[in-house]
Amino acid sequence: MKKRILGNSGLEVSDLGLGCMGMSWSYGPPKDKKEMVSLLRNAVEMGVTFFDTAEVYGPLLNEELLGEALEPFRGQVVIATKFGWAPGPNDKERWSLINSKPEHIKKVAEDSLKRLRVEVIDLFYQHRVDPNVPIEEVAGAVKDLIQEGKVKHFGLSEAGANTIRRAHAVQPVTALQSEYSLWYRKPEIEIIPTLEELGIGFVPFSPLGKGYLTGKIDQNTKLDPSDFRNTVPRFTPENRKSNQSLVELLDRFATQKGATAGQIALAWLLAQKPWIVPIPGTTNPDRLKENIGAASIELTAADLHAIEKAAAKIKIEGARYPEIMEKMTGL
């Protein structure tokens, strides 16, 4: 697989990364550990060098999984993890408190280093902006960790343009991770221009619309009771039915290119900017291979214009998150 550099940072990663959350959390029960170790190592063999995790995934299980699976490839891969959440006082199983106090950030870094089995964290994101801690203090804490040799690069997730600027002024931000795809394009208004101006890379999560853009989910699909998509307005049966026109659009281009709808969705993202690196997640070896194949699909200027023209006529129904989660973002 080809490589890309995230903004002006010099951090080189594969064109497509691998989002690992679903292996341990959110999309139903945790998957078989042995199978996930195999999938992660196969991803490396197929050219993926960029892996995304967080302490809250599991919680803690996902970092431990990556630490075991990727230990043989230390120095050959880039592992991104995140800080910023903590257990609620009466909520042992699900972490519910935002916490980006400098002392907490530094403790998370120490713990993540152990779980990931590395000597330095390649990319350390603030998972969500903490309204109670000035972003300058957050950036300063990560700057200290970078000076101590415990972190290489600083990242933000779901931060707004002003927050990005303020953080970047204290410690250069290497990458912003936020949702972006053909069915969520709000970052195009302010975020992408800001990133381009400052030389910051963009790492879209949910580049396949939490699986919807693959065309494998429709209004009749039954999700596991523990799947968080059951709480997402965009995933009600009615909205899934209404949004099928976007999948049909992708299917039309997929037929022309001998590809799949999901591959076209990823190829579209890759064509937007050379410093955009999507991180589709999967627990399925066949889907992993399919996603990686998207990096080889070339969309011409005419293709992109046609997709844009057709997509402009489609109104996406349903919010991307429940209201309480949407309020936690800075977008």
* One-letter amino acid for residue 281 of the chain: G
Angle at 162 between CA 161 and CA 166, to 5 degrees: 120
Helices (H) and strands (E) in the chain, counts: 12, 11
Asked if 120 contacts 149 with a C-beta cutoff of 8 angstroms, the reply is: yes
The DSSP-derived string for 98-118 is E---HHHHHHHHHHHHHHHT-
Tokens of 215: 């065309």
Distance CA 251, CA 219 (A): 17
Catalytic residue among 57, 180, 184, 212: 57
**Residue 55: which of 42, 47, 43, 64 has the closest Cα?**
64
**Residue 106: which of 63, 150, 62, 66 has the closest Cα?**
150
Q: Which residues of 62-75 are buried (b: 16+ CB within 10 A; e: fewer)?
A: bbbbbbbbbeeeee
180 is known as an active-site residue: no
Give every CB contact of residue 75 below 8 A, 6+ residues apart in sequence. none
Q: How far is CA 85 from CA 31, 49, 56, 80, in A?
A: 23, 26, 7, 16
Residue 123: phi and psi, rounded to 5, are -145, 120
Catalytically active residues, by annotation: 57
